[in-house]
Chain A
Amino acid sequence: MKNLSDYTEEIKSKISIYKDKCVNDLYNGTEHSLWKREYTVNYINYIYKLSNEKDKPVVVIADNIIEYKLYFNLLFNERYNKKSTEIINFVHKIINDPNSSSEDISNSEKLILDLKNDLSHIKTDLIKAETHYLFICSEYARVYLMWFKFIKDEFKLNTSVGEKLDWLYDNVNKSNIAKAFFCKNIVLVLRMPKKIKRNSVGFHSVDNEGAIIYDNQKLHYINGRSIPNWVFDKYFSKTLTFKDFVNENNEDIKAGIITLIKENEGNEGLIKFLDAIKVDEQIIHHANNYSETMILYKTKSKYSFLKDSKGNTNVSYAWLSMNCPSTGSNYLIDTCPTFTDVLECAKWHRPNQINSKIPYFWQSAN
């Protein structure tokens, strides 16, 4: 029996070592470059054995998300899977036949790798690619297994499944599995990305390399929110315009544009992009030492198609800049251009029932 007194400072200090081992080589690309197909196949086979499956499944591995979707259709969409099903069944027989030679097995593996050549034919009538969740075989598996390993080894616990979980822990990282779709005879696997960039909030990158990087695909994230490729493509080709920003309805994408510009060019770059002037800036001190910097911006130009809250047309575009305390994202909220005091402006955005005499003061902000 262990209790809290066993959780010493020495043990606590080791958590970061386990965490680093869990993800560092994944994030920096080492894991991807050292990967071999057999690592993934061995891991899957071990899981099937743990599940008391008699046969080994055929393992098909996709290198990126686009490829996974195509493989899913090649294997499971009736419109495309006639030939691939024959190949899978053939290979399944070979790899599970005790009389198969190593050459037979090696040749059958080549057939699986050659399936990649058929992906280019898959274009129409696609079905939605699915994944199964299995806690020892997903992108999170390494984390669960890391905590198991930490608790078992550091607290010196004996467990009947220790040996099996040790094997999974030792092999999960190099198996490089992000997601998988499990069938009796076949498993479709999506590999982990080549490289991952994060900040304390989540996936995050403001360069054009992407936050989740595959060989032929990149996904952009800013402060943990998915941002469409067009934002980065336009920004880095210097074709992103103020009109693009105005036309975008999604607040998270707008916030992404603001952060992208701010982190690359600073506040000056942002104001230039918006062709705006800073009307007012105040630091508001709330409870629990939380303070918030709010800025009111307004364009220098006036636009005939804009209206203020009094119904006047031909007015400036104005924004209230606020930071989300949880995500760190900077939001520019459209506001009425008549304001000159940012605090009054922030009060005005509260629900109608809250009059301006009620102080703008948060006991808690998340």
Chain B
Amino acid sequence: MNFTGKSLHQGDVEFFEIKELPKGLKKIDKQFIAASEKSGSFHALFGNYDMYEVDDNSFIVDCKEECILNHSLKEILENANVSLNEAKVLTKKDHRHSIIPKGIHFIGIQQRFDPLEGFKIKVRD
């Protein structure tokens, strides 16, 4: 991936701008970037974009215009009756919303380290 060096984060969710879409990506339906079953919270991108799967913990999005990254609760999303296609700000859970500029972005989650095992692990929310 050809990174531009521009990056932003909302809690553990990190966005890194890339110059072009890598080849061979699998386009997927829009989905939460990260979600916690325990607290009902989620990080999700709202607006006009295409989403591609990189692995089970990271994605690439091609934002056709400015999109909104919300950290909110599933309950709030249901009551707001907003779909992932609409660039709308939801009531925040912990983290303020972020504006994701038009362009292509790699999305990953900040990695944790397990000192008992000695390797990096997927973050637990």
Contact = CB atoms under 8 A, between A and B. Distances in A.
Interface of A: 224-225, 249-251, 305-312, 317-318, 324, 326-327, 333-337, 348-354, 358-359, 361-366
A353 B108 contact: yes
B2 to A, nearest CB: 11
Contact of B112 (A310, A334, A362): A334
Interface in B49-108: 54, 57-58, 71, 92, 94-99, 106, 108
Contact of A305 (B96, B116, B119): B116
Residues of B contacting A: mostly: strand
A351 B95 contact: no
B5 A326 contact: no
Contacts of B124: 249-251
A318 B118 CA distance: 12
A326 B111 contact: no
Contacts of A361: 5, 7
Given A359-B5, A366-B9, A327 B94 contact: yes
A59 B114 CA distance: 53
A307 B118 CA distance: 5
Nearest to A336: B113
Given A306-B116, A358-B16, A359-B5, A366 B111 contact: no
A311 B115 CA distance: 10
Contact of A366 (B97, B106, B118): B97
A276 to B, nearest CB: 13
A352 B1 CA distance: 12
Contact of B118 (A225, A308, A358): A308
Residues of A contacting B: mostly: loop
A363 B113 contact: no
A305 B114 CA distance: 12
Given A326-B96, A353-B58, A366-B97, 9 more contacts: A251-B123, A348-B111, A349-B110, A350-B110, A351-B106, A354-B108, A359-B5, A365-B9, A366-B71
Given A353-B58, A353-B108, A311 B9 contact: no
Nearest to B16: A354
Contacts of B115: 306-307, 317-318, 334, 336-337
A358 B3 contact: yes
Most A Cβ at <10 Å: residue of B7, B10, B114: B7
A350 B98 CA distance: 18
Contacts of A310: 118
B6 interface: yes
B111 A351 contact: yes
A324 B95 contact: yes
A320 to B, nearest CB: 9
Given A309-B119, A351-B14, A363 B94 contact: no
A364 B3 contact: no
B29 interface: no
B7 A351 contact: no
A103 to B, nearest CB: 46
B116 A366 contact: no
B40 interface: no
A307 B117 contact: yes
A309 B6 contact: no
A324 B110 contact: no
Most B Cβ at <10 Å: residue of A311, A352, A361, A365: A365
B21 interface: no
Contacts of B57: 351
B112 A365 contact: no
Nearest to A202: B94
B34 interface: no
